[in-house]
Structure 1
Amino acid sequence: MIAHVRGVVEHIGLDSAVIDVGGVGYLVHATPGTLATLRLGATVTLPTSMIVREDSMTLFGFADADERDVFETLQTVSGVGPRLALAMLAVHTPDGLRTAVANEDHKALVKVPGIGDKGARRILLELGDRLGPALGGGTQAAPAAAGSRADVVAALVGLGWPAKQAEAATDEVIEGGAVDAEDTGAVLRAALQLLGGARRG
């Protein structure tokens, strides 16, 4: 098991980064919020979780050990795999998820693409107190990686929303003028909130 990687950021993509560790490039999948903290050429240490399958080994990286622990705990719930667990952490902070569980707020989980009302209620029931108490991080969505409009749309599609819905939400946020169109992190956060609201409706 690879508990963390420490190396130079060689590449930052929409849903992953390449970290050069002693001449070996590790492809690390991560949330937009974690990727937003990385800078090309900088040396970073990322807590990681490695998912081993019969035909693949996939490495996931996180902003801190707490996020990694929540990622791993989420996968103890039936039907929640690494992709869905990562999507949950892209929409909610670890404390946001803890608060949702504590308040039995299934609507908060329905904001995550791939989770319907029935699935959200089941996840809350199965999680119980496994995530522990909230540490004070609130329920806001995680920050997003920088980039262009196309990057925002691609990030939303990567999180599970249909392309047309992702494009419509992104355009609505940009045209609405409530956020700086050049601040793609803000655009992505606003689009996530908009899409979450649409699911509630």
Structure 2
Amino acid sequence: MYEYIRGNIADISPANIIIEAGGIGYFIHISLNSYSQLSGKKDTRLYLHQIVREDAHTLYGFADSKERELFRNLISVNGVGASTAIMMLSSLTADEIRTAVTTENVAVLKAVKGIGAKTAQRIIIDLKDKLGKLSESGHILPATDNTIQIEALSALVMLGFAKKDAEKVVSKILGEQPDSTVESVIKQALKRL
């Protein structure tokens, strides 16, 4: 298993990053919170989690080890896969997830796409004791890119939303709040879709 990767950021979007290390470009899935921390940097060190299946070897990257630990705790819950865990880490900050679990706030977890009442309750039951021990710093840096609509739409499509639905929601959000960042547009869209 890989612990981390250090290298140059060849490409980055709200849903994934390509890091060049040792002459090889690694495609790594990231959360919106990690994107916020990495946006604008030329090189980085990402903590990794690798999932090996018959048809794929998939890497998930995290700006800090505590976010990776939360991801690993989430995927340990029956019914929560890597995509759902990344969706949770993109919709809510790590502190919000931890607070929702420790205070047994099912409504906050249900607000994430793909999380129903039963899954939210299962997450709370399985992780309440574990997440009470984690400490997170929820520092998020603003995005500086001027292609907010394109990046937000791209991220939502990569997360599995229909392009037409995502376009409508992103356009509406940018119409209401034209000075929004990519992260805020995606977070609001995740709540509306």
Shared fold per TM-score greater than 0.5: yes
8 A Cα contact 2:49 2:68, kept in partner: yes
TM-score, normalised by the number of residues in structure 2? 0.85
**In structure 1, how many angstroms separate the alpha carbons of the residues matched to 2:84 and 2:141?**
18
Paired AA for residue 183 in structure 2? G
Deviations 1:139-182 (A, max 9, x none): x9x778643313212322333444444333222221223x505x
**In structure 2, how many angstroms separate the alpha carbons of the residues matched to 1:40 and 1:124?**
35
Structure 1 pair 174–161 and aligned structure 2 pair: CA distance change class (3 A): same
**In structure 1, how many angstroms separate the alpha carbons of the residues matched to 2:130 and 2:185?**
32
Q: Percent identity?
A: 36
**In structure 1, how many angstroms separate the alpha carbons of the residues matched to 2:184 and 2:120?**
26
Deviations 1:7-42 (A, max 9, x none): 111111342111111112111110122123335772
The CA RMSD measured in Å over matched residues stands at: 2.6
8 A Cα contact 1:143 1:189, kept in partner: no
**In structure 2, how many angstroms separate the alpha carbons of the residues matched to 1:43 and 1:120?**
36
Counterpart of 1:132 in structure 2 is 132
SS of the residue 2:25 aligns to: strand
Runs of 4+ aligned residues of structure 1 deviating over 6 Å after TM superposition are none
**In structure 2, how many angstroms separate the alpha carbons of the residues matched to 1:109 and 1:27?**
28
8 A Cα contact 1:96 1:137, kept in partner: no
Structure 1 pair 23–136 and aligned structure 2 pair: CA distance change class (3 A): closer
1:1-201 superposed matches below 5 A: 1-38=1-38, 42-133=42-133, 135=135, 137=137, 146=145, 147-177=147-177, 179-181=178-180, 183-192=181-190, 194-195=191-192
Q: Which moved more, 1:4-13 or 1:63-72?
A: 4-13
Question: Where do 5+ consecutive residues of structure 2 fail to align?
Answer: none
**In structure 1, how many angstroms separate the alpha carbons of the residues matched to 2:169 and 2:95?**
26
SS of the residue 2:101 aligns to: helix
Structure 1 pair 89–33 and aligned structure 2 pair: CA distance change class (3 A): same
SS of the residue 2:153 aligns to: helix
Q: Which moved more, 1:159-168 or 1:74-83?
A: 159-168
Deviations 1:106-135 (A, max 9, x none): 111112111122221222222231223463
SS of the residue 1:189 aligns to: helix
8 A Cα contact 2:102 2:131, kept in partner: no
**In structure 1, how many angstroms separate the alpha carbons of the residues matched to 2:141 and 2:107?**
20
8 A Cα contact 1:7 1:43, kept in partner: yes
SS of the residue 2:78 aligns to: coil
Equivalenced residues, count? 191
TM-score, normalised by the number of residues in structure 1? 0.82
